């Protein structure tokens, strides 16, 4: 009789455990749960990307400092500004005057016009 009670209790416990496990899996596969999981993964990925960008920025600053030391460049206390833009004097692209050569009218290159 104790044997039957033991196996009955073990079977009932296994059934309850299996039912709970199946219900948990089904809840995870519901659309709301899937959307929440996707949002959590996106936030986690965003945090990882941000940390990566910060690590890269720190590494760039360290490397720049190493290069400055290697090249003997000191701290750049003054920031040099770009010179003011110059206004170019525009020349005509082609000459419009014609010269007279030994064979009559010639073009700007000195060759005969055709």
Q: Give me the half-sphere count of Cα atoms (radius 13 Å) on the Cβ side of residue 36.
A: 7
- Helix count and strand count (H, E) for the chain: 2, 2
Q: Where are the domains of the chain?
A: 37-70
pLDDT at 82: 74
Q: How confident is the model at residue 102 (pLDDT cuts 50, 70, 90)?
A: low
Specify the DSSP class assigned to residue 106: E
User: Helices 2-28 & 31-71, crossing angle to 10 degrees?
Assistant: 60
Q: Give me the half-sphere count of Cα atoms (radius 13 Å) on the Cβ side of residue 102.
A: 0
pLDDT digits (tens, 9 = 90+) for 32-87: 888 999 999 999 999 999 999 999 999 999 999 999 998 888 765 565 677 777 77
Rounded to whole angstroms, the Cα distance separating 55 from 47 reads 12
Specify the DSSP class assigned to residue 99: E
Cβ(113)–Cβ(105) under 8 Å?
A: yes
> pTM here?
0.42
């Amino acid at each position: 009789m104790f044997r039957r009670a033991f196996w009955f209790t073990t079977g009932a416990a296994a059934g309850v455990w299996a039912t709970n496990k199946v219900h948990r899996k089904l809840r995870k596969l519901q659309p709301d749960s899937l959307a929440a999981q996707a949002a959590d993964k996106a936030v986690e990925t965003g945090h990882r990307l941000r940390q990566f960008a910060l690590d890269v920025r720190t590494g760039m600053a360290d490397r720049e400092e190493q290069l400055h030391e290697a090249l003997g460049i000191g701290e750049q206390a003054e920031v040099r500004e770009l010179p003011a833009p110059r206004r170019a004097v525009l020349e005509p692209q082609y000459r419009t005057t014609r010269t007279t050569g030994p064979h009559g009218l010639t073009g700007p290159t000195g060759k005969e016009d055709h």
